[in-house]
Amino acid sequence: MKKKKPRASWGDRILRSASGLTAVLVVGIMIWMGWEMFISSRQSLHQFGWAFLGGRVWDPVHRIFGALPFIYGTLVTSLVALVIAGPIGLGVAIFLSEMAPATVRSVVGFLVELLAAIPSVVLGLWGIFVLAPFLGKVVEPWLGKRLGFIPLFHGAPVGVDLLNGGLILAIMILPTIASISREVMTAVPTVQREAALALGATKWEMIRIGVLSYAKSGIIGSVILGLGRALGETMAVTMVIGNMPNISPSLFSTAYSMAAVIANEFTEATYGLYLSALMEIGLILFAITLLLNIFARLLVWSVARGPKGGHLV
Amino acid sequence: MDARRNLLNALMMGIFSLAAVIAVVPLFAVLGYVLKNGLTSLNWAFFTELPGMMGVGGGMANAIIGTLIVVLLASLIGIPIGILAAIYLSEYDRSSWFSTLVRFTSDVLTGIPSIIVGIVVYAAIVVRTKHFSAFSGGVALAIIMIPSVIRATEEMLKLVPHTIREAGDALGIPKWRIILNIVLPTAAKGILTGALLAVARISGETAPLLFTALGNLYYAHSLNEPIATLPLNIYFYAISPYDQWHKQAWAAALVLVFIVIVLNVVARLAFRSRLRKN
């Protein structure tokens, strides 16, 4: 574009620099968040070093802080969520992108998005007053009777535990996995499907050969994005996990998660080191979710944003 | 051989359909209970009165107004920033390494836990100003909504045909006026949809408000005071020992879910009418 009249170019310069500034701001926010948390957790980093990650004791009264129980609770609930929501979310994505007629697709698609829209604090409320009694009185006694010999299902059923946290998280990440997998599958070129069908494949074979193998990395990306969401989810888990820093192999045990301990104790942290230890837990959570998201986004981008032509099987 | 393949095919199709059914069960289970427990607990006092002491009586008038204030504040900060950044990405710099970085960072920012945003804003604003405030809550929510506004706006701006911009150019209209007076209005409904969905998302956020807005039993008289919001109240009431407060938590959940769903539906309707028009 050639230079315009001076007045016009002023307008251009203002809009260009204002919008450019906000773009810089987005990157700045990210860097600033990492920096602010690093600074705030310096005291704890200095005091405990790497031992913080492996420390099993969390005792604010005696100034001993170890993050292991929280890391454990976060990982176990997230894994339970992934095991449940991964296959179901993928199934929903296949149903929506490959099978459903247009009307069913828009209705079910809308319902799944609505599930994503339910605030996590409302899911937590439901988890405390509906899911917990149901788990404690029906599901867990049943599981304990049949599968109690496995440590996973051993112990007294209470309903407010790792299993409840995992289930609530499964509900929360299901829409994430379903909608991003679906987006990736929709990006698969139609020729892939036509080629498979032309070779006499059944619909399932077409999906497996033509769609899934092509969209594989994007689907993995969607699952990792779901995992990232589960790791950092706060309110619902805080309300149903029991908030006790236990490390127990049983899913029926109360536990604690990284986000939950921050939510519960942050405003109660009465001295610098306590606050700093909580900040360090935040820093760990930030670092893990940041890395997972970078990795997952690269996978999703590689499929959804730049199809490199169909490689036929 | 073919029979086996067909059987497997039918089996897999059955499994995928079943997955779709299972996926909507929790939605109806949650909405059903919210509706049932919420309706029996909802009354006029809920909308007009302040919380009662020790779980007796009262309502959430302050939290309803508080939610509106904090969300409005966040929108006033977050939506313009998001739209401007999207204008930069779509109109000024589509494919440099910098715009790719911004786009990528924005996508990654979506995945950062909202409680992290809460503690960062606490460290940056609450610690420095030495008090919890509605303002810091609004900033935290704004940070959370910016990436979704950017993404939605950029996609809408990209849908605006290039010929429109060229027509403006041919008439000698300066670029900033083409963007503000031609491109943005063309994409307005789509941008509105994105903004409404972002507003719906932050309306239900609780974690970032725990250490910023904090909550308040009374009305907040300025943005420098702690303020009550519906999501915060649902949390505090749900973990309280009082039955009456549990009931009010359900009532608040009903009101919140109602707001969120209405925003979602309105956003979608706006988008649909945009498609029909084109």
Domains of chain A: 70-265 (1.10.3720.10)
Residue B156, min C-alpha distance to chain A (Å): 16
Burial pattern B233-247, b for ≥16 Cβ within 10 A else e, equals bbbbbbbeeeebbbb
Distance of CA B72 to CAs A25, A121, B132, B142, B224, Å?
A: 21, 20, 18, 10, 15
**47-86 of A, contacting B, C-beta below 8 A:** none
Residues in chain B, pLDDT under 50: 277-278
Residue A239, min C-alpha distance to chain B (Å): 7
User: pLDDT value at position B168?
Assistant: 92
User: pLDDT value at position B207?
Assistant: 95
- Find the helix or strand (DSSP H, E) in which B127 lies: helix B127-129
Q: What mean pLDDT is reported for chain A?
A: 91
A290 touches chain B (CB under 8 A): yes
- For helices B134-159 and A6-40, angle between their N-to-C axes, nearest 10 degrees: 130
Q: Is the dihedral of CA A55, A58, A61, A63 positive or negative?
A: positive
Between CA B84 and CA B95 the distance in angstroms is 17
**135-154 of B, contacting A, C-beta below 8 A:** 143, 146-147, 150
Would you say residue A312 has pLDDT above 50?
A: no
B24 touches chain A (CB under 8 A): yes
User: pLDDT value at position A305?
Assistant: 61
pTM over 0.80: yes
User: pLDDT value at position A194?
Assistant: 94
**pLDDT greater at residue A9 or residue A198:** A198
B223 touches chain A (CB under 8 A): no
Chain A interface mutation, best of B205, B206, B212, highest count of A Cβ atoms under 10 Å: B206
User: pLDDT value at position B273?
Assistant: 59
- Closest to A158 measured CA to CA, from A130, A142, A135: A135
Q: Are A153 and A251 a contacting pair, CB within 8 Å?
A: yes
Q: Mean of the pLDDT values across residues A34-58?
A: 93
**Cross-chain residue pair B176–A11, CB shorter than 8 Å:** yes
A230 touches chain B (CB under 8 A): no
**Cross-chain residue pair B174–A87, CB shorter than 8 Å:** no
Would you say residue A310 has pLDDT above 50?
A: no
**251-270 of A, contacting B, C-beta below 8 A:** 259, 262-263, 266-267
> What residues does each domain of chain B span?
60-277
User: pLDDT value at position B188?
Assistant: 92
User: pLDDT value at position B53?
Assistant: 76
ipTM of the complex: 0.93
User: How sure is the predictor about A309, in pLDDT bands with cuts at 50, 70 and 90?
Assistant: very low
Q: What are phi and psi of B131, to 5 degrees?
A: -155, 150
**What is the CATH T-level fold of the domain B60-277, as seen in this structure?**
MetI-like fold (1.10.3720)
**Cross-chain residue pair B109–A30, CB shorter than 8 Å:** yes
Would you say residue A307 has pLDDT above 80?
A: no
Would you say residue A308 has pLDDT above 50?
A: no
Convert the pLDDT of each residue in A124-153 to its tens digit: 999 999 999 999 999 999 999 999 888 889
**Cross-chain residue pair A266–B12, CB shorter than 8 Å:** no
User: pLDDT value at position A311?
Assistant: 41
